[in-house]
Amino acid sequence: MMRLRTSLTCLARSSRSGESASSRSALPASKIGQGGGVRPSFPPLVEVEVKALACDLPRKSGVPLSRYSSNEIASEAVRRGIVAQISGATVWRWLSEDAIRPWHHRSWIFPRAPDFQEKAERVLDLYQGIWEGRLLGPDEYVISADEKTSIQARSRKHAIIPPGPGQSMRVEHEYERKGALAYLAALDVRRAKVFGRCEATSGIEPFDRLVEQVMSQEPYHSAKRVFLIIDNGSSHRGERCVRRLQKAWPNVVPVHLPVHASWLNPP
């Protein structure tokens, strides 16, 4: 419905809420609220206009959002007079059931490296324990390494109080900023073992310290080969990185991912 009428006489036409007018002495919204679980119906025009709203950028309406949520679309539809009342759940149902959803998207990087398939297959084979068509031996290991930069370090202003009888755990809402850190991690793919460290920043030296953390331990230190899967970040890019790592650790075999394929790196 568009809005409630003060008259008790219903007009012989469909309302914006989908209620059909009749000769009954009731408001057009009389069905809404009758009996729990009754789903109100809406005319097709309302559904079309709500979907058109979902396709609009919020900035066109002066709203400081990058995209609408279902509840925000419902509120905006009411504000624009598309419908007098509608729930976010109804909006979500309409949008999720549609065959073509232009309001729905995900980020994607299309492979552009000419040797993408070759390098990707080599890495995927290593995850299966295969190198150049042969199974890896028991003294050969596969390590996948990566880094995450600019992680905010925060400290709660009060220590967390653990739960007790009749009392839930209490977590302080306020915190203090402690700057940003880089987290570097290495995963032994076949043994499900993780090595990690925090550094003030990323770079060649922090990355080499991560490799040293792994390679100074057994069984990697005395292993026949340790395949090190890495992306093309500036701290471990190209042949210079290969020479540097193999000079420090002769049994390390650096294996670079194709360009724009960090999603092949588990850490």
pLDDT of 238 strictly over 50 = yes
pLDDT higher than threshold 70 for residue 232: yes
* pLDDT, the chain, mean: 84
| pLDDT the model gives residue 153 | 84
Give the mean pLDDT of 14-22: 44
* Highest CATH level, class, for 116-155+174-264: alpha beta
In sequence order, the β-bridge partners of residue 148 are: 183
> Which residue blocks in the chain are alpha helix, DSSP H?
44-55, 70-79, 88-97, 116-127, 204-215, 238-248
pLDDT of residue 266: 82
Q: How far is the C-alpha of 248 from the C-alpha of 114, rounded, in Å?
A: 31
What percentage of the chain carries pLDDT values higher than 70?
85
The residue ranking higher by pLDDT, 130 or 66, is 130
- For residue 25, pLDDT over 70 is answered with no
CA distance 43 to 205: 64
- Supply the pLDDT for residue 37: 59
Over range 196-218, report the average pLDDT. 95
User: Which ranges in the chain are annotated with CATH 3.30.420.10?
Assistant: 116-155+174-264
Residue 29, pLDDT above cutoff 60: no
Percentage of the chain exceeding pLDDT 90: 58
182 has pLDDT over 70: yes
